[in-house]
Amino acid sequence: MSGFIHFVLGGSRSGKSRRAESLAIASGQPVAYIATYAADPSDREMQLRVERHRQQRPSNWKTIENRIDLENVMAETAGVLFLIDCLTLWLSFHLTSGRSADQILRELEQTMLRVRKLERSLIIVSNEVGAGLVPMTPEGRAFRDLCGTANQLVAAHASIVELIVAGLPLVLKGGVNAAAR
């Protein structure tokens, strides 16, 4: 299986996860779904969201939860299409764990390079957070800036980049045949 990166980007509730899941189903490949949310048992509302996502996914998909070391997860598993949902939560986890933006971006770059070297196939979902209001706090602005830079980094490595608006994909890079290359 030749590797590719398909980047699915959009705002909150834009349909990006649904789009990524439909792409994974249409691929006909076995899927390993990497959920990047680090479970917090005290956040009941988020737990309900996680459970709803679990129920919507096909039962034959392998789900990998509470693993934030993306590079290792993908190196350990071959012969599957990886679906990472989502980059934004992965970034948030690392930023709130006290890592610097530079450290996080270096790790993301290494992961993207490793995906290409190992010829893994990857669909990665992320939020477009830069199209809204400027956050009022320094922390909010730092997170927005990190997300924007990380999205640019992944887009540079991706064969296909789609922006999802109102459930509709707008192809920004690549196209229908890009994944076959």
Q: What residues act catalytically?
A: 53
Query: Residue 131: which residues within 8 A CB-CB, separation 6 or more?
Result: 11
Encoded tokens for 14: 């834009």
Q: Detail the DSSP E strand segments found in 73-120.
A: 81-85
DSSP code per residue over 3-51: -EEEEEEE-TTSSHHHHHHHHHHHHTS-EEEEE-----TT-HHHHHHHH
- Judge contact between 108 and 7, C-beta under 8 A: no
Query: Residue 39: which residues within 8 A CB-CB, separation 6 or more?
Result: 47, 50, 65, 66
